[in-house]
């Protein structure tokens, strides 16, 4: 079997686990295994892929599908607002939306795209690693009269000096995060999930993201590149590291906040890249801006991608090898009091706006146990240090969501809250 074929099968199994994550562990029944076996055609591969997926972390411990690896080639993040007048109605509508989405996610897991109904665009297609992750925005808790159940770490993100936010691309009561290996499966699933809550929730903003597919990669295990051509995602907590839990998953022992115990907080940023300005730079200058080599992602002064950046190294002229305003210096734990988050970046490319400006960049998602000591601390550090990358990017959209754990036996996420 070729490496690519092996990866695709692995991805396919991971997707089933992802869908289980959305639907609850109880969903791991004959449907899931049959679905995979039918797609891959060998029970032996099913078992080894299952073991591999488990070793990388999985929904057995309630982790949302969006945190599983490998990451899907396509995602769509949709922020919706609940359509309701007062607190009681808001709570009721939110409960209905989350219950409907959990139910449909479970059906998609058990029956694959067939659950999308007769005449769906996905006829004849495999599940394509479909994974559904759900989140709740601060505005929902406020509107639903649940401010006392809002964890302090779920405070609104502060304004940052470099923000150029468009309010139309910010906030949202609920988040629907769907990932899949195939864009048709993804589109049809998102459409279906939104249709099931029509009249209860309206789309506030949405952004599709993508990365190179495993099938097209020479090495599917290699860290992907973003649209600036950089290897992006090298320094990240790994799911099999002991620290992953404390850095990415939240612990809330206080009873009113227990609904988020074991969940994660995600910051979503729509960051436009000024690609013409970026590619006008000499390659050497592009490397200085980040502090890493374009060819292989190795830190300047290092040999390999995974080498630890030497922030104290000086060149012959006595200047830092990794510049004072280089992105990786300012974002490093050494500069940010140990701040850590799991970055899951996807490219977005919407073509050109009506003024002919490029609409492309990074659908940046950062997952952490506490955004105050994660995203906010790092973004402040980037601002205060005048991140050299700042001249080539624009933060145009922003949102924060609490992503509760998936608990066995609960009909939907955040059940104990709503
Ligand atoms: C379009 C915007 C951005 C681009 C193109 C970008 C690109 C990169 C690249 C190429 C790296 C080095 C490779 C790696 O470790 O992944 C990196 C590292 C990193 N970035 Fe960004 N980044 C962007 C925005 C952000 C934002 C908004 C944050 C958080 C506020 C952030 C936090 C980090 C962190 C924590 C690291 C690892 C630093 C280390 O310890 O070495 N980045 N980024």
Domain-embedded: residue 50: yes
Ligand 1 centroid from CA 327, angstroms: 7
pLDDT surpasses 90 at 234: yes
* Nearest atom of ligand 1 to the alpha carbon of 336: 35
Report pLDDT digits (tens) over 304-341: 999 999 999 999 999 999 999 999 999 999 998 888 89
The answer for residues whose C-beta is within 8 angstroms of residue 265's C-beta and 6 or more apart is 153, 154, 250, 367, 368, 369, 370, 371, 374, 400, 401, 402, 403
pLDDT for 329 equals 98
Average pLDDT value over all residues in the chain: 86
CA–CA distance from 110 to each of 16, 27, 37, 126 (Å)? 9, 7, 13, 12
Q: What's residue 138's pLDDT? A: 98
The atom number, within ligand 1, closest to the CA of 230 reads 10
How many residues are given for the chain? 418
Of 235, 288, 373, the residue with max ligand 1 atoms within 8 A of its CB, to mutate for a pocket test, comes to: 235
The set of residues, in sequence order, having a beta carbon less than 8 Å from that of 119 and lying 6+ positions away, is none
DSSP codes, 101-167 = HHHHHHHHHHHGGGGG-TT-TTTT---TT-EEEEEE-HHHHHHTT-GGGS-GGGPPPPP-TTB---G
Tell whether 117 is covered by a domain.
Answer: yes
Task: Indicate the top mutation candidate among 274, 286, 290, 331 to test ligand 1's pocket, ranked by most ligand atoms within 8 A of CB.
Answer: 331
Per the CB < 8 A criterion, the answer to whether 305 and 297 are in contact is yes
Whether 129 contacts 14, CB under 8 Å: yes
User: Residues 6 or more apart from 241 whose CB is under 8 A from it?
Assistant: none
Per-residue confidence (pLDDT) for residue 339, from 0 to 100 = 84
107 within a domain of the structure (yes/no): yes
Closest C-alpha to ligand 1, atom 42? 331
Distance CA 177, CA 184 (A): 16
- At 299, give phi and psi (nearest 5°): -65, 145
For residue 174, give the 3-state DSSP assignment.
strand
Q: List residues near ligand 1 (CB under 6 A).
A: 226, 228, 230-235, 269, 271, 273, 290, 292, 309, 327-328, 331-333, 343, 361-362, 364, 375, 378-379, 382, 389, 393
Distance between CA atoms of residues 225 and 231, nearest Å: 4
For the cut 80, the answer to whether the pLDDT of residue 177 exceeds it is yes
Residue 394 falls inside a structural domain: no
Q: Please report the pLDDT score of residue 241 as a whole number.
A: 86
Please indicate, yes or no, if residue 353 is contained in any of the structural domains.
Answer: no
**Token code pair at residue 112:** 């694959």
User: What whole-number distance in Å separates Cα of residue 369 and Cα of residue 414?
Assistant: 17
Model confidence pLDDT, tens digit, residues 203-224: 999 999 999 988 899 999 999 9
Q: What is the pLDDT of residues 355-378, one digit of tens each?
A: 999 999 999 999 999 999 999 999
In a domain, 240, yes or no: no
Ligand 1 site-directed mutation target among 327, 348, 371, most atoms within 8 Å of CB: 327
Could you give the angle at which helices 43-55 and 3-23 cross, rounded to 10 degrees?
A: 70
Contact 391, 272 (CB under 8 A): no
396 in a structural domain: no
Q: Identify whether the C-beta of residue 105 lies closer than 8 Å to the C-beta of residue 23.
A: yes
Ligand 1 atom 35, closest CA: 331
141's CB contacts (< 8 A; 6+ apart) are 147, 149, 150, 154
The predicted pLDDT at position 4 comes to 40
CB-CB contact of 381 with 373 (8 Å): no
User: Could you give the residue ranges of the DSSP H alpha helices within 146-282?
Assistant: 183-195, 242-248, 275-280
Residues 6+ apart with CB under 8 A from 194: 78, 80, 176, 201, 203
Residue nearest to atom 12 of ligand 1 (CA): 232
* CB contact at 8 A, 67 and 342: yes
E strand map for 274-404 = 342-352, 358-368, 393-403
Give the Cα separation of 339 and 289 in Å (integer).
21
Instruction: State the distance from the centre of ligand 1 to the C-alpha of 345, rounded, in angstroms.
Output: 9
- As a whole number, mean pLDDT of residues 229-246 equals 91
Task: Give the 3-state secondary structure of residue 258.
Answer: helix
Q: Which residues participate in catalysis according to the annotation?
A: 232
Contact 358, 352 (CB under 8 A): yes
Quote the tokens at residue 163: 């923000």
Residue with CA at minimum distance from ligand 1 atom 43: 232
Res 29 pLDDT > 50 = no
Domain boundaries, position 204: 3-148+167-226
CA 350 – ligand 1 centroid, Å: 22
Give the distance (Å) from ligand 1 centre to CA of residue 184: 30
Would residue 129 count as lying in a domain? yes
How many separate domains does the chain show?
A: 1
Which atom of ligand 1 is closest in space to residue 333's alpha carbon?
40
CA of 271 to the centre of ligand 1 (A): 12
Atom of ligand 1 nearest to the CA of 340: 35
């Amino acid at each position: 079997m070729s490496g690519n074929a092996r990866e695709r099968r692995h991805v396919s199994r991971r997707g089933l686990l992802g869908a289980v994550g959305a639907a609850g562990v109880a969903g791991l029944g004959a449907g899931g295994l049959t679905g995979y076996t039918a797609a891959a055609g060998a029970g032996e591969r099913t078992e080894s892929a299952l073991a591999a997926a488990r070793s990388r972390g999985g929904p057995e411990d309630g982790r949302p599908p969006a945190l599983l690896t490998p990451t899907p080639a396509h995602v769509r993040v949709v922020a919706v607002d609940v359509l309701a007048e007062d607190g009681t109605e808001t709570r009721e509508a939110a409960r209905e939306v989350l219950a409907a989405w959990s139910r449909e996610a479970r059906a998609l897991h058990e029956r694959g795209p067939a659950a999308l109904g007769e005449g769906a665009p996905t006829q004849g297609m495999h599940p394509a690693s479909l994974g559904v992750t759900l989140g709740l925005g601060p505005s929902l808790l406020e509107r639903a009269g649940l401010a006392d159940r809002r964890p302090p770490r779920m405070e609104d993100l502060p304004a940052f000096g470099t923000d150029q936010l468009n309010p139309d691309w910010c906030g949202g009561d609920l988040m629907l995060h769907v990932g899949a290996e195939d864009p048709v499966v993804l589109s049809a699933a998102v459409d279906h999930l939104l249709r099931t809550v029509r009249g209860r929730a309206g789309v506030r903003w949405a952004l599709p993201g993508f990365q190179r597919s495993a099938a097209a990669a020479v090495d599917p295990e290699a860290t992907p590149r973003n649209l600036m051509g950089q290897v992006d995602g090298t320094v990240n907590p790994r799911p099999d590291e002991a620290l992953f839990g404390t850095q990415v998953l939240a612990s809330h022992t206080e009873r009113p906040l227990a609904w988020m115990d074991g969940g994660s907080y995600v910051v979503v940023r729509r960051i436009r890249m000024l690609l013409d300005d970026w590619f006008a730079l000499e390659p050497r200058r592009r490397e200085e801006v980040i502090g890493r080599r374009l060819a292989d992602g190795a830190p300047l002064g290092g040999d390999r991608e995974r080498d630890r950046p030497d922030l104290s190294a000086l060149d012959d002229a006595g200047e830092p090898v990794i510049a004072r305003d280089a992105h990786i210096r300012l974002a490093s734990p050494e500069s940010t009091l140990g701040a850590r988050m799991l970055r899951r970046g996807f490219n977005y490319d919407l073509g050109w706006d009506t003024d002919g400006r490029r609409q492309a960049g990074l659908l940046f998602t950062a997952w952490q146990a506490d955004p105050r000591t994660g995203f906010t601390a790092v973004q402040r550090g980037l601002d205060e240090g005048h991140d050299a990358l700042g001249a080539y990017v624009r933060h145009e959209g922003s949102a924060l969501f609490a992503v509760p754990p998936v608990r066995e036996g609960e009909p939907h996420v955040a059940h104990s809250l709503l």
